[in-house]
Amino acid sequence: MADPLTRQDLVPIPEEKLVFRLPAQFTDPAIERRHRKERLAGALRLFGRFGFEEGVAGHITARDPEFPDHFWVNPFGMSFKHVKVSDLLLVNHDGDVVQGRHRVNRAAFAIHSAVHAARPDVVGAAHSHSVYGKALSATPQRLEPLTQDACAFYEDHGCYEEYSGVANDPEEGRRIAAALGPYKAVILRNHGLLTGAGSVDAAAYWFITMERSAQAQLAAKASGPTLQIPHEEARSTYEQVGFDLAGWFQFQPLFDQISRTDPDLFD
């Protein structure tokens, strides 16, 4: 069908009339809880789609909006690809499941309870044993400003150097939280990546793009000498792409995609 257009139609549309999504604001904690759980289930499905699973390892959490000393997390032993909203567990900071039908991954409790306790600003936190995160963590490297995307982590990620086995000990979790410090991410040496943010959306996106940035860095270094973005440009780029709302916004197309292809996640 023809779609005619005349020069008279070529009038600039005021910016305030153009669509630009922003995070929803809530007054009812029950509605906000449902929203966070939907985002959490969607993030888990995306992690499954991106191949971030390694057996039963990996977890994403969402702080409860009404009971901030509790968090929602994926069930132990369930594939990321299958998680529904109704499957999520509510866990307290003693590691007890208070809502749900499954057991909780003890490492998820040890790490995430410490992160949520140390960082009241962190609503969402994500960790998995993704291939390139593991590979980067097995080298002395941190993430370098080799690409624009990597600049989101420029001077904004820590490193936990003390690998001591599966992180089942709450004390180990507190050390990991200390290594995360004020940053959005931490490399867990010989283990993988962990991200945290003011929303589940941003935490999930930071993990996805950090994993891809690790892949790009390893590929670039395997190809030969690399060229880092200079400090001033890296810092300027960080200020453009590294803030929490930017992470939230970049997650939205991914959530739209998984919502359409996997509508059962809302069950």
Rounded to whole angstroms, how far apart are CA atoms 173 and 179? Answer: 10
| pLDDT score at 163 | 81
| pLDDT score at 106 | 79
Q: Does 252 have pLDDT greater than 90? A: yes
Mean pLDDT of 54-78: 95
- 168-189 pLDDT, tens digit per residue, is 678 888 999 999 999 999 999 9
Rounded to whole angstroms, how far apart are CA atoms 143 and 27? Answer: 39
What angle in degrees, to the nearest 10, is found between the helix axes of 106-118 and 170-180?
A: 40
78-to-39, 45, 55, 103, 166 alpha-carbon distances in Å = 17, 11, 9, 10, 19
Mean pLDDT of 223-239: 98
- 92-137 pLDDT, tens digit per residue, is 988 899 999 999 887 777 888 899 999 999 999 999 999 999 999 9
Laid out side by side, the sheet with 70-73 consists of 97-99, 89-92, 70-73, 59-63, 124-128, 192-197, 185-188, 157-160
Q: Which residues contact 34 (CB under 8 A, 6 or more apart)?
A: 85
Q: Does 1 have pLDDT greater than 70? A: no
| pLDDT score at 155 | 98
Q: Which two tokens stand for residue 162?
A: 């003390």
pLDDT higher at 105 or 212: 212
- 26-63 pLDDT, tens digit per residue, is 999 999 999 999 999 999 999 999 999 999 999 999 99
Q: Which residues are registered as beta bridge partners of 62?
A: 72, 124
| pLDDT score at 180 | 97
Mean of per-residue pLDDT scores for the chain: 94
Q: In terms of Cα–Cα distance, which of 41, 62, 156 is closest to 115?
A: 62
| pLDDT score at 93 | 83
- Contact between 170 and 113 (Cβ < 8 Å): yes
Backbone angles phi, psi at 186, to 5 degrees: -145, 140
- 152-165 pLDDT, tens digit per residue, is 999 999 999 988 76
Q: Judge if pTM exceeds 0.75.
A: yes
By DSSP bridging, strand 157-160 and strand 124-128 are unpaired
- Residue 150: pLDDT band (50, 70, 90) is very high
Sequence letter at residue 14: P
- Contact between 74 and 88 (Cβ < 8 Å): yes
| pLDDT score at 188 | 96
Burial 33-63 (b: 16+ CB within 10 A, else e): bebbbbbbbbbbbbbbbbebbeeebbbbbbb
Backbone angles phi, psi at 197, to 5 degrees: -160, 175
Sequence letter at residue 146: L
> Range with the lowest mean pLDDT among 5-14, 63-72, 158-167?
158-167
Q: Which residues contact 164 (CB under 8 A, 6 or more apart)?
A: 172
